[in-house]
A and B are shown apart, each in its own frame.
Chain A
């Protein structure tokens, strides 16, 4: 919640005027994916980015991760200009991105392995994070033997294991079934409560964004831009019952309406462009 973050320390992430354009097969024509994005993530804050497909929300997250270079604008991470990935950020991928030839423990330890942490040390750390994500007893299981939800728990544990200040999550629950998804949302609430990372969470699920976040950023398409920011003033700690609160529905409805306008607006823009 914004009240708890100290206003004078630099924000976890500060993006100003970020733009990204991709070339198209036709010469001279390019596709503006993001335009004039101003975005701030305060330290300890959980912010979700929602938007229709093609609004560039994943591109924006990848820019924050340092995986994609913006064409314009600046990106500061913890008060320093960022160019490329950094040790203070870790990413959770929609497709999990686990190494199939490593077991759960070795996968969680992989980020530490790349930082040359000694094997015994990093495996011990990995066991701790596997416990945090509720996978004790599956240390020796290989990704293929586990369900999608369990694989993403490994992905989350791997990101947490390098103890980053900032967690960047790209539709992390997009590839798991609905039941597992709502179960994982509650686990995410608990884990965030225990770790208090600064989180950017990309999703297209409005309910998920409202349940988890301190703030929801709504994005629109063509070009990808921020339409509005909604502060989620639901009390914490939150749980399954939070979904029943009238305020939860108010906020969800409001975000849903601005997304709906966007979706209805689209054909008109296309028509005027042709």
Chain B
């Protein structure tokens, strides 16, 4: 009971510390901001008002929904391609040697440099934006899956073989669960990359949802609107990362080794 109380008070202290630091930042922002003209850097409350207005009139929600189309499609496509490719590359030396240089290029290149090439191929269509999200996410996803599969404990392979596990059962019951934590970590990182890809596509190719909202606010010198939109994009990134983290921990419960003698 005492331990639980100590635990609760520690959590409370943490919440207070976090709240205090947030208040300090917001206070400074409010103090330094200047709402007298649209073009100036707005105060915290000014930004909040703009955020509320854009949310209330629905424009930001619509923009967000439009933009996320490319995120959803591009990221799903990346999963669809990277998972099988990563598993195969993790299992076969030959495939790994063939694929790995491309993965290295994808991960090491600043992918924003590839955007003109994508534009040359797909124009300014939805496909172009999907392709960019895909490119941002696919490398890290495939590499993590590959490494996860390669790191399967060799003695588990032998165990499976000694029980004459069929190939498919081996993959399903030994390889995939072993690699799952690495795959989940990759999926989480790739999701952050995909959000970047979504925004990059709209700012460099063509403004569609969020991108056109940002452009509009930018060209009309509405700094408060601009910051409000950026905050929303940040919030989406954080929320998605948090959701992926929750999912990741759920799949990793056995790693934490919580006692469970129920």
The contact string, 1 if C-beta is below 8 Å from chain A, for chain B 227-262, is 000000000000000000000000000110101111
Total A-B residue contacts, Cβ distance less than 8 Å: 66
A99 CB contacts on chain B under 8 angstroms = 156, 173-174, 177
CB atoms of A145 and B259 under 8 A apart: yes
Given A85-B163, A97-B155: A114 and B173 interface contact (C-beta under 8 Å): yes
- Assembled-state Cα–Cα distance A220/B155 (Å): 25
B153 CB contacts on chain A under 8 angstroms = 95, 97
Given A93-B155, A100-B255: A141 and B161 interface contact (C-beta under 8 Å): no
CB atoms of A87 and B177 under 8 A apart: no
- Assembled-state Cα–Cα distance A90/B159 (Å): 9
**Secondary structure call for the A interface:** loop
B170 to chain A, nearest CB (A): 9
B261 CB contacts on chain A under 8 angstroms = 140-141
- Assembled-state Cα–Cα distance A110/B156 (Å): 12
CB-CB nearest in chain A for B174:
A99
Given A86-B164, A93-B155, A97-B158: A144 and B260 interface contact (C-beta under 8 Å): no
CB atoms of B159 and A91 under 8 A apart: yes
A114 CB contacts on chain B under 8 angstroms = 160, 163-166, 169, 173
Interface status of A248 (Cβ within 8 A of chain B):
no
> Which residue of B156, B162, B166, B262 is within 8 Å of A85 (Cβ)?
B162
Given A93-B158, A97-B158, A145-B259: A162 and B254 interface contact (C-beta under 8 Å): no
Interface status of A65 (Cβ within 8 A of chain B):
yes
> Which residue of A91, A100, A140 is within 8 Å of B260 (Cβ)?
A140
- Mark out the residues of chain B between 156 and 194 whose CB falls within 8 Å of any chain A CB in the assembled complex: 156, 158-166, 169, 173-174, 177
CB atoms of A87 and B164 under 8 A apart: yes
The contact string, 1 if C-beta is below 8 Å from chain B, for chain A 93-123, is 1111101110100000011011100000000
A31 CB contacts on chain B under 8 angstroms = none
Which size bracket describes the interface of A in this complex? 20 to 34
A95 CB contacts on chain B under 8 angstroms = 153, 155
B175 to chain A, nearest CB (A): 11
- Assembled-state Cα–Cα distance A141/B166 (Å): 27
B174 CB contacts on chain A under 8 angstroms = 99
A111 CB contacts on chain B under 8 angstroms = 163
The contact string, 1 if C-beta is below 8 Å from chain B, for chain A 57-101, is 000001001110000000000000000111101110111110111
Given A97-B153, A97-B155, A99-B156: A110 and B254 interface contact (C-beta under 8 Å): no
- Assembled-state Cα–Cα distance A95/B164 (Å): 19
Interface status of A39 (Cβ within 8 A of chain B):
no
> Which residue of A67, A94, A100, A115 is within 8 Å of B161 (Cβ)?
A67
- Mark out the residues of chain A between 21 and 38 whose CB falls within 8 Å of any chain B CB in the assembled complex: none
A67 CB contacts on chain B under 8 angstroms = 158, 161-162
Interface residues of B (CB under 8 A from A): 153, 155-156, 158-166, 169, 173-174, 177, 254-255, 257, 259-262
**Nearest 9 pairs of A and B residues by beta carbon:** A97-B159, A97-B155, A144-B257, A101-B254, A91-B162, A95-B155, A111-B163, A114-B165, A114-B163
Known: A90-B162, A91-B159, A144-B255. 19 other contacts (CB 8 A): A67-B161, A84-B164, A85-B162, A85-B163, A86-B164, A93-B155, A95-B155, A99-B177, A100-B254, A100-B255, A101-B177, A103-B260, A114-B160, A114-B169, A140-B260, A140-B262, A141-B260, A142-B257, A145-B257
